[in-house]
């Protein structure tokens, strides 16, 4: 009997010790990270993840939020609008109250409504379509990248003033992002008195754009602006070169990534595109760039630094008011933040009051050079 009592007491003590150890472990703060992790736009998801993971690792190394670590919840949305609602629901079902959410506008528009309804504080570092925030009635969704109605006029002024284009064609892929940015470019060019010889859509996913190339050869435009993603942009460039079309192609930030280089090959030489400024080149970001390099992640794509900034904003807000999402959202709307993309302040919709776009030009190997 004495031995049995001793064993029971030992087991109880061990269990209590384990329970004490478990209860002493700080509860992580979950951050949903839905992004394209499969499909043709995976590189955009890689960029978003690189920014979020590097920021979280840096913050956790410094003690997280008062000793509580941040924990990412990675979710694949495949840059597919039909995956928007399932991806957003997976964020909610994970228990996360915060998210750095989505790159593609077609996914972000429906997903943002769910985050608003559920009171999830979410920030997109990549979705530029105005309707992402224009159609929301709440105050929980934000972005750390500029809108198409900022990017479009910037691209249009470059086309009109710097390229001195007399005949312009504007194409798009009929999707939320591509059609949106193309429409803003077209409208801005028209205000500048430019001649839009053709405004047309192509079908995303097609493999042969010979018909549209034939139209372009007849029009002989000085500039062709395309709103869309790399798979279609790459084919347009390659097939235009194969058919002997000589014109200046230009796109927005969503049209460029490594897959464009692989699809277009040398035909991409000379392509222009608007893009977020290279925030990795800021002198004050060099320690952060080194953190990216240590983790073997590139820092100089379109979305790494906006994603990193999104985590910074969430962290600074939670430091100030705690982890109640409503209080965090209110704090974000009423305060200014120093981030890797510079000073950040949000308007009543959750959009940035200011954001810097630039123009890059590609050489035949896909290396970019700052033009403006």
The yes-or-no verdict on residue 372 having pLDDT over 90 is no
Residues 211-228 as b or e (16 or more Cβ within 10 Å = b) = ebbebbeebebbbbbbbb
Structure token digits, residue 56: 């979280």
For 158-278, where are the alpha helices, taking DSSP H only? 176-191, 210-219, 230-242, 258-264
CB count, 10 Å around CB of 347? 11
Each residue of 142-201: pLDDT tens digit?
Answer: 999 999 999 999 999 999 999 999 999 999 999 999 999 999 999 999 999 999 999 999
Q: What is the DSSP letter of 41?
A: T
The yes-or-no verdict on residue 5 having pLDDT over 60 is no
pLDDT of residue 145: 97
CA end-to-end span of the chain: 86
Residues 83-106 as b or e (16 or more Cβ within 10 Å = b) = bbeebbebbbebebbbbbbbbbbb
Q: What is the DSSP letter of 159?
A: I
pLDDT of residue 25: 85
- Distance between CA atoms of residues 235 and 72, nearest Å: 35
- Bridge partners of 29? 70
Q: Does the model's pTM come out above 0.85?
A: yes
- Bridge partners of 74? 33
Q: Which H helix or E strand runs over 225?
A: strand 223-227
How does residue 58 score in pLDDT terms, banded at 50, 70 and 90? very high
pLDDT of residue 23: 54
The yes-or-no verdict on residue 18 having pLDDT over 60 is no
Summarize the confidence of residues 62-79 as an average pLDDT.
Answer: 98
CB 371 within 8 A of CB 272: yes
Summarize the confidence of residues 8-19 as an average pLDDT.
Answer: 47
Each residue of 248-298: pLDDT tens digit?
Answer: 999 999 999 889 999 999 999 999 999 999 999 999 999 999 999 999 999
pLDDT of residue 135: 85
pLDDT of residue 22: 47
């Amino acid at each position: 009997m004495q031995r049995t009592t001793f064993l029971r007491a030992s087991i109880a003590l061990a269990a209590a010790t384990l329970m004490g150890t478990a209860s002493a472990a700080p509860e992580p703060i979950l951050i949903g990270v839905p992004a394209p992790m499969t499909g043709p736009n995976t590189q955009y998801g890689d960029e978003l993840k690189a920014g979020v993971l590097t920021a979280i690792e840096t913050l956790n190394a410094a003690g997280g939020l008062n000793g509580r670590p941040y924990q990412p919840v990675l979710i694949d949305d495949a840059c597919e609008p039909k995956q928007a609602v399932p991806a957003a629901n997976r964020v909610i079902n994970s228990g996360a109250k915060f998210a750095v959410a989505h790159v593609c506008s077609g996914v972000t528009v429906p997903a943002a409504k769910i985050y608003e309804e559920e009171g999830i504080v979410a920030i997109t570092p990549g979705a530029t379509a105005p309707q992402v925030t224009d159609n929301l009635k709440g105050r929980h969704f934000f972005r750390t990248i500029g809108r198409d109605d900022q990017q479009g006029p910037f691209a249009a002024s470059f086309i009109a003033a710097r390229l001195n284009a007399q005949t312009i064609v504007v194409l798009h892929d009929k999707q939320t992002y591509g059609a949106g940015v193309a429409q803003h470019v077209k409208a801005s060019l028209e205000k500048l008195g430019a001649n839009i010889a053709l405004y047309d859509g192509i079908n995303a996913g097609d493999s042969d754009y010979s018909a549209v190339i034939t139209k372009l050869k007849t029009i002989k435009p000085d500039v062709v602006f395309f709103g869309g993603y790399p798979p279609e942009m790459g084919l347009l460039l390659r097939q235009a070169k194969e058919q002997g079309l000589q014109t200046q192609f230009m796109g927005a930030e969503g049209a460029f990534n490594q897959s464009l280089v692989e699809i277009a090959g040398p035909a991409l030489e000379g392509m222009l595109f608007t893009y977020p400024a290279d925030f990795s080149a800021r002198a004050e970001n060099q320690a952060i760039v080194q953190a990216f390099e240590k983790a073997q992640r590139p820092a100089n794509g379109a979305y790494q630094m906006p994603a990193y900034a999104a985590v910074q904003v969430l962290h600074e807000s939670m430091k100030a008011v705690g982890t109640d999402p409503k209080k965090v959202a209110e704090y974000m709307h009423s305060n200014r933040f120093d981030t890797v993309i510079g000073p950040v302040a949000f308007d009543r919709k959750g959009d940035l009051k200011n954001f810097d776009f630039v123009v890059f030009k590609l050489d035949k190997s896909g290396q970019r050079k700052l033009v403006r």
